[in-house]
Structure 1
Amino acid sequence: MRKGKRIVVKVGTSTLTDGGRRLSPPRMVDLARQIALVRSKGVDIILVSSGAIAAGREVLNYPELPRFIPKKQMLAAVGQPRLMAMYTEYFAIYGQRVAQVLLTRADLMDRKRYLNARDTFEALLLQGILPIVNENDTVATEEIRFGDNDTLSAQVAALVEADDLILLTDQAGLYEADPRVVPGARLIREVPAEEIPDTLWEAAGGSRSGLGTGGMLTKLRAADLARRSGTTVWIAQGNEEDIIIRIVNNEKLGTRFAPMISHLEGRKRYLLAGHQVQAGVWIDKGAARALSRGGSLLPVGIIRVEGEFERGDTIRILNEQGKLIALGLTYYSSSEVQRFAGKHSDQIESILGYTFGEEVVHHNHMVFMRNGEHESA
């Protein structure tokens, strides 16, 4: 599991092109330099990157195409390999390995796929590999689209429990009015941990570059979403010198949105949303004692499986008397747990032929219950 600070950086098309028509190698190299420096300090970073459609237009020499989704999907399909090739080359300058992660909203709505996605991120970060995330435009229909990478970055921040989400754009932050329309409009430095006022929603405008699909309104929505899961959000200008490094060093730049809850509270809300699930496991006294001391639920302590559940479900954890002591996100299905219940963790792979880890439920993904109510994990 994670040890240090974790940050999601979202970079928009206007930043990658440096305000021009083509992807800007100098801007992308500088982005790689900043991220490599921050990662060298022990900070986990996930990069959510726009730019695939812009790259596709560049590869195809800017064809005149009708404005409807299949054409955008075609441009993204052409541009995504080009975008990743550039990132691979530029991050290699600083000794950084990268991986492509393509997601749709459906991947994070389904609990099993949510868990799979989270485990993939954890595995990449553990190996020192930088995940570069984009929406899977070539397969995403309207029903499963995030719609913009700002929203995607907020969902990823919640998925990996990021401490900070940095949204890089072509403006210095959130203004009280559109500074391109109202000269002298004031830059808002801090949005406190409370509901965003209507005046700020009204002040948020759309993108005018013609390159991206976002805008300040989508960034404000993303900020509101991420801070409700415990993440601090920054909206800042992408081409400002050393912007990522300076934000990580707590310099007051752009607009900062304070989180509304802690990561622990966000985790508890997610788990409690699955409380209607009646399936679960019964555990022995030793396992119950281990959980109370901060341990995870291991196969050896399970004495009975009750009902049916799938990997990624919230399950009930009961003691030998049948009392509910915790809820948790399970790494294994009921049929799998049935096969290795009471065994040692190092036997899971030999029994199943594969393994998702030594824990059935990790302590970090558990909510303890007391008299029917939840308490801190």
Structure 2
Amino acid sequence: MRTINQYSTAIFCAVFALCASIDGGPGSSQVSQEYWLQQAETKLLNRRARQGSREHQKRAKNVIIFIGDGMGPAVVTATRIYRGQKEKRDNDQDSLFWEEFPHGGLVKTHSLNQHVTDSGASATAIFYGRKVNSRTLGVDGTVRQNDCSAVDNGKIESIASMALKNGMSVGFVTTTLVTDATPAALFAHTAQRGIESDFDAQKFKLTGCVDIAKQLVDYYPGNQFKVILGGGSRKMMPNYTENNPEESELIGERLDGRNLVEDWKSGSGRRSVVWNRDELLDTDYNKTDFLMGMFAPKRFPYELDAALKNKTNYPTLSEMTEAAIKVLQKNPNGFLLLVEGALIDSALHANYAKFAVTETL
């Protein structure tokens, strides 16, 4: 029940939105790690009993988790209407691709301590199966925001760690920073999602929390990931080094002097680092078992920005996904891949409606 089984391909779509929050108080039973596992097992067993035996069905070999950050029902509706207008079709009964999936569902998205979640707690709920406190990652409900001293005792196991234990390969692609809350939830354990670099730790005036970029390169399970594609090179580079040949005027922000991209590249196995779309498309997959792409100092530009400014050095989400699969599918035991379209949420925060629906498409 708590292991990952492999044979065909399973695809999951998760959606969650970010808003201002209202404090709440979790019941004491909900703080424990076992509470949420028992809840999930009970619901799954009840659902299986209603469906009847399906032992003849194959079990999934590969798992791909698609997340449209901010893609709630209102955004989906607006996107469906926008696409119809754009294609000059007067039919509100048209469906977006994922609306044709045979199974779907809704989830209660609150965090453990707030009615409206943040992406750190919601991503942890997706990857760990537990409700946790807002702005924490990879820890149980005993860990409150900014309580770095409680992290070690509150660590929990993610789906990425389970996949690795089952001999699978793991990777992720995102259009935001690779240290941002959603991808970071796959591998990081922290009481403050904002500590993406050691500079951030100083900014938050917190000690004892290992920054997320360092956890990605130095700590399990992140240091076992075979694909890391996204933005956020400034979190990985020292503050005196040009952090991207494509954006030479920008420098890194790390205070420890480490170049985590080079440190990652020096690891075992055949590793490739790419900095732009052309380098990604030219990757020799026969010579690449580990792939890192640092395509922006921060997040990617919006799709409309990229089109207007002709920023062709950024790969598309589909191009990154295809590249990731080419690396990960070499493993006969299967793979786990996270694909995040992160800029829907960014556009919604800025109240850019057209940008949000364009990112959704």
Higher strand share: 1
Considering the TM-score relative to the shorter chain, is it more than 0.5? no
Q: TM-score range by the shorter chain?
A: under 0.3
Q: What's the TM-score, normalizing by structure 2?
A: 0.27
Higher relative contact order, chain-length normalized (CA < 8 Å, sep 6+): 2
- Structure ID, larger Rg: 1
Q: What's the TM-score, normalizing by structure 1?
A: 0.26
